[in-house]
Amino acid sequence: MNKILIIANWKMNPQTLNEAKVIFEIAKKAAKENQNAEIVICPPFIFLADLTKHLKGASSFQLGGQNCSWEQQGAYTGEISPLMLKTLGCSYVIIGHSERRCFLNETDEMINKKIKAALKAGLKPVLCVGEKEGEDVGLVIERQLKEGLKEVDDVRVKNIIIAYEPVWAIGSGRACSTDDAMKAVLLIKKNLTKLYARNLAEKVKILYGGSVSSKNADVYIKKVGMDGLLVGGASLNTSEFLRIIKSTGL
């Protein structure tokens, strides 16, 4: 049986390594106790080198980056390469998060370059897609998938994960309705089958993100049929995060 993929996006939190270690260890214990889930922690880069030393001991417990460069090395001040993340022990990397699209003007073209660089380094990219309030969800998903996955071939698409994160749902407490989440899954699948052979497109994991809490987490998994969750704010609240993990168990 496929494990539910639960990715914790800590964003620019917490403030200290000690706090990060506490949250990390609690999540690791939860990964050991909940074999139905694969749990991926995406902390700020600065904590990765330390946390990676404590990764062992739970087989379904991984680290990921929140972003990466589209180059593997060189004169790119302030950037972190996918190869560096991989060498450090990361398995995943979030790419195209709406906060980076909005605040840092990341374009679909930049995101596509990052996806290809991450795949080349052996990471699994988590491509975030989703509409802003008032935008046409169908058009946005179509464009973000088509542009984001340009030149990603049939062989490499197996390592891609798509996270549907409507921008208006992120950090707002207004999680997406079941019906809208189902529509988004269908749209993502339809667009993937335009780009790839059906048997490959169907294997791509689809996650939901945006105000996930213990009150709604199980609905996206059990009712909507999502393969997992991308959890922001609630992943830093250890008791809430544990409830989310537990609630997705069958």
Question: Which string of x and - marks every residue 9-38 that binds ligand PGA (by CB under 6 A)?
Answer: x-----------------------------
Q: Using CB positions, name the residue nearest to ligand PGA.
A: 232
Alpha carbon distance 250, 244 (integer Å):
12
Residue with tokens 């214990």: 29
When binding is defined by CB under 6 A, the residue of 210, 216, 217, 243 that contacts ligand PGA is: 210
Alpha carbon distance 215, 250 (integer Å):
16
Identify whether 165 is a catalytic site residue. Answer: yes
Does residue 232 touch ligand PGA according to CB under 6 A? yes
When binding is defined by CB under 6 A, the residue of 96, 130, 166, 209 that contacts ligand PGA is: 209
Name the minimum Å distance from CB 21 to ligand PGA: 21
Name the minimum Å distance from CB 166 to ligand PGA: 10
Identify whether 54 is a catalytic site residue. Answer: no
Helix (H) or strand (E) holding 174: none
Please tell me whether residue 207 adopts helix, strand or coil conformation.
strand
Q: Which residues 125-184 are close enough to bind ligand PGA by CB under 6 A? A: 165, 170-171
Q: Which residues pair with 9 in a beta bridge?
A: 42
When binding is defined by CB under 6 A, the residue of 27, 212, 226, 245 that contacts ligand PGA is: 212
The gap from C-alpha 242 to its chain's centroid, in whole angstroms, comes to: 18
* All residues at 6 or more sequence positions from 133 whose CB lies less than 8 Å from its CB, including other chains: 167, 168
Alpha carbon distance 240, 250 (integer Å):
18
Helix (H) or strand (E) holding 248: none
Name the minimum Å distance from CB 179 to ligand PGA: 19
Does residue 226 touch ligand PGA according to CB under 6 A? no
Active-site annotation holder among 38, 131, 165, 240: 165
Sign of the CA dihedral with 197 first, then 154, 180, and 207 last = positive
When binding is defined by CB under 6 A, the residue of 69, 211, 216, 248 that contacts ligand PGA is: 211
Region near ligand PGA per CB under 6 A, out of 53-61, 113-121, 207-215, 238-246? 207-215
Output b/e per residue, 137-171; b: 16+ Cβ within 10 A. Answer: beebbbebbeebbeebeeeebebbbbbbbbbbbbe
Interface positions with ligand PGA (CB under 6 A) = 9, 165, 170-171, 209-212, 230-234
Which positions are catalytic?
Answer: 97, 165
